[in-house]
A = this chain, B = another copy of it.
Amino acid sequence: MRDRQREETRKKLYHAAIEIFCRDGVSNCRIEDIALKAEVSRAAFYFHFPSKDDVLLELLREAEHPTIDALNAMPLDAAIETVFETVISTTADFWGAADRSRLLVDVFGVSMRRTTILADREAEVVRAAVGRRFEKAAERGELSPMIPPEVLSDFYLLNIFAAMASWGVQPIMPLKDMLAGVTHLFMNGAKPPGAAMTAVPFQKG
């Protein structure tokens, strides 16, 4: 009963916040407008969300669900290209929505501040799931043996995320095409086909 009421207020605040963020921008908007839309006091917002960042973190977690579900529906030995297609299409579907795109730069910032890139991976579900697929792909020889698969996986997701943040400010093409381009570049590199591998080694930390 109390729990239900709490969750209801929280959800109302969450949806109101996302709506106001999209309308006014994350840093410009007033908490008061969020509280007004959710029909609670301003302080109730702070009771449920210590800061605006916490709302964005929840949005980020919500955005991960379609990706996770799609990955879980795939066999563990699926080709790495299939993993890419899944990540790209689920991610682009979620964030490609016109009103959400302007949140991407801030979401990227939150994701950098709040998650632990290259450490503590199990806490982030998409990161862990994609990481497992990269490990399997590396075992099958689909990835370069020069770089540990979990590092490759984190860099891939970092690339995807940075490209989305950039796209959120300058949507010069459909998001899906942008992510496909980034993925292609990630796999094949910028070197011309047939050229010798450059000599810079990757140092592990």
Contacts and interface: CB of A to CB of B under 8 A. Distances in A.
Contacts of A119: 170, 172
Interface in A129-156: 141-147, 151-152, 155-156
Contacts of A200: 81, 84, 180-181, 183-184, 187
Contacts of A161: 162
A85 to B, nearest CB: 9
A188 B185 contact: no
A158 B20 CA distance: 29
Contacts of A143: 190-192
Interface in A158-205: 158-159, 161-163, 165-166, 168-170, 172-174, 177, 180-193, 195, 197-198, 200-205
A7 to B, nearest CB: 29
Interface in A62-120: 81, 84, 105-106, 108-109, 112-113, 116-119
Contacts of A192: 141-145
A69 to B, nearest CB: 23
- Give the interface centre of A141, A142, A181, A197 by most chain B CB atoms within 10 Å: A181
Contact of A190 (B109, B147, B163, B170): B147
Contacts of A165: 112
Contacts of A172: 118-119, 205
B155 A203 contact: no
A142 B196 CA distance: 10
A170 B116 contact: yes
In the A-B complex, the 5 residue pairs with the smallest Cβ-Cβ separation, listed nearest first, are A189-B189, A162-B162, A173-B205, A172-B205, A177-B203
Given A144-B193, A181-B202, 17 more contacts: A105-B113, A106-B109, A108-B108, A109-B109, A112-B166, A117-B170, A141-B192, A144-B188, A159-B162, A162-B162, A173-B203, A173-B205, A180-B200, A180-B202, A181-B203, A187-B189, A188-B198
